[in-house]
A and B are shown apart, each in its own frame.
Chain A
Amino acid sequence: MHGVETAAASTGREVEGVSRDRRTLRRRAELLLALTESDLRARYGRGGVRLFKWLLDPFALVGVYLLLVSVVLDRPGAAPGLSLACAVVPFQLLMMSVMNAMGAVDLRRSIILNMSFERSFIPASAVLTETVAFAASFLLLVLMMTVYRVSPTLAMLWFPLVVAVNILLAVALAYVSSLVGIWFSDLRLFAISFVRTLFFLAPGLVPLSLVGGRAADLLRLNPLSGVFEGYRSVLLYGTRPAAWELLVPTAFSLVLLAITLPIYVREQKQFAKVVA
């Protein structure tokens, strides 16, 4: 009888544990959504003007780079506008996530100094905010596919995975950026310039197929290269992404997260001292 009671109690505890886990998960999801919702309003305002703000940057960048590649450098390649959009759109997510995350703790200074809450979600909410803007800029990809008459193929099925890798890299960079924003606030501009440089040290302006020899091998080591080429494989070439295009950025992101996440979780306990 005692054994039966123990088993029943154990099952009860397990059910209670699962229910508590679900509550915790739900609570965390709500917290993340609330932080993101407020961030979206604080950064992008309200109403239809938001869409304009989200689209302005990627459209302007593709326009400027298109001019540079086609006229100045005279290396347009195939469907240059779409090729550029395949780099600019994912890079916008990375760049904006880095910029948002670097100032995210400062932005919430008044909350951090007034109440205790799960501050580990701050960089994640910065990425989620920018992902909404990023989703809006898919319009640019569709537009470029239409302009260059590139039809979608079955390779489009890989698109969600390519986007997931892009978001994973953004999350990893966001945690590092938040720490940089707290530790070395004077170096924020330098950090932004560094990320911009990574764009040019990857096949951003021209696809990897137009870069020859050892340079192409070296560019593959840049995690941004895999992301850009992944978009091009799926949207421009109509093929499934090569393994390295997914694996290099994924491995880089996971290593970065494995290093920075524990540091961030420990450091977030000190945020109130630093931002006070």
Chain B
Amino acid sequence: MSAAAIVAEDVGVRFYFDRLHRVTTPTLAHVRRGVTESWGLRELSVDIRGGDAVALIGRSGAGKTTLLRVIAGILIPDEGRLSVRGQLGSLLSIEAGLLSRLTGRENALLLGVLSGLSRAQARLNVDSVSERSGLDDAFDRPVSSYSQGMLARLGFAVVDQARPDILLLDEVHEALDHEFRERVQERVRELLGRGGIVVAAGHDHPLLERVCNRALLVEDGRIAADGSFDEVVHEYLARPLPDAPARAAASGSRRGRSGTRSSARRS
């Protein structure tokens, strides 16, 4: 495998919103009135090399998922440059690209082809996906009947079958049961051992710590801190909440509620 790498230079991703605050496309933004723009990512630069397991830390809406989607090629940067070297495998939601009306087997076939396999190869791999997912008979049932954990198991098994060099995870691993988490960690170690990259976002810091050796603090679409996992998490937890001044001005009872929210957010 050639060394996997992700290099972003001043990457920006812009969103347009119509008057009803719905996201709209640039083409319509030029035609419609009252359109506003907002940057999901701005001037974001990062260099991730083979062997790095990077945790994306930050509050909800900071830009972690957007960054993962840009790396996965799902979103195209509106400015800056992004270079991704290596076969990608992404699991960016619990649904993980699964269509609810199809069975696990049918989804595995479809996603296999979409990820670059030939139909024949995807058919050959499907039994291996079934085995890796550990879903047994449920593999031939529509995924609409699956629990969140089962969806995540199937999604991970599908991604894993393509033997990616770069694995992108977005909070999905948090839905996995203990046994399957162990298996994910094992696969991550194996991937890192052969020079691959893992980028994982989430709020379950103890879980991320078990997988990642590096962390990026994402704030307002920018990298606010980059370093070892412990350092970055410490810095994140030490930061005041964005709406702290407003709360400080509020009543004592309101302060009490804020404190509860703060600890919940940083669990």
A267 to chain B, nearest CB (A): 5
B92 CB–A CB distance under 8 Å: yes
**Measured CA separation A34–B72 after assembly (Å):** 21
Q: Is the interface of A mostly helix, strand, loop or mixed?
A: helix
Q: Are B99 and A113 in contact (CB under 8 A)?
A: no
Which residues in window 57-95 of B have CB below 8 A to A?
69, 72-76, 88, 90-93, 95
**Measured CA separation A256–B39 after assembly (Å):** 34
Which residues in window 117-157 of B have CB below 8 A to A?
118-119, 122, 155
B2 CB–A CB distance under 8 Å: no
B15 CB–A CB distance under 8 Å: yes
B200 CB–A CB distance under 8 Å: no
Interface string of A96-110 (1 = CB under 8 A from B): 000000000001101
Question: What residue in chain B is nearest A26 (Cβ atoms)?
Answer: B118
B97 CB–A CB distance under 8 Å: yes
A41 CB–B CB distance under 8 Å: yes
Chain B residues whose CB sits within 8 angstroms of the CB of A267 once the complex forms: 25, 27
**Measured CA separation A269–B92 after assembly (Å):** 18
Knowing A110-B99, A113-B69, A270-B26 are in contact, say whether A41-B115 is a contact too (CB < 8 A).
Answer: no
Question: What residue in chain B is nearest A31 (Cβ atoms)?
Answer: B113
Chain B residues whose CB sits within 8 angstroms of the CB of A183 once the complex forms: 24-25, 27-28
B29 to chain A, nearest CB (A): 10
A114 CB–B CB distance under 8 Å: yes
Which residues in window 135-171 of A have CB below 8 A to B?
none
**Measured CA separation A263–B28 after assembly (Å):** 11
Chain A residues whose CB sits within 8 angstroms of the CB of B3 once the complex forms: none
Q: Are B114 and A34 in contact (CB under 8 A)?
A: yes
Q: Are A115 and B99 in contact (CB under 8 A)?
A: no
How many chain B residues touch A (CB < 8 A): the figure is 37
Knowing A115-B90, A273-B25 are in contact, say whether A110-B96 is a contact too (CB < 8 A).
Answer: yes
A38 to chain B, nearest CB (A): 5
A197 CB–B CB distance under 8 Å: no
Q: Are B102 and A273 in contact (CB under 8 A)?
A: no
**Measured CA separation A113–B114 after assembly (Å):** 13
B244 CB–A CB distance under 8 Å: no
Question: What residue in chain A is nearest B107 (Cβ atoms)?
Answer: A38
Q: Are B119 and A34 in contact (CB under 8 A)?
A: yes
A50 to chain B, nearest CB (A): 13
**Measured CA separation A174–B241 after assembly (Å):** 48
A254 CB–B CB distance under 8 Å: no
Q: Are A182 and B114 in contact (CB under 8 A)?
A: no
**Measured CA separation A117–B97 after assembly (Å):** 11
Q: 3 closest Cβ contacts across the A-B interface?
A: A116-B73, A114-B97, A34-B113
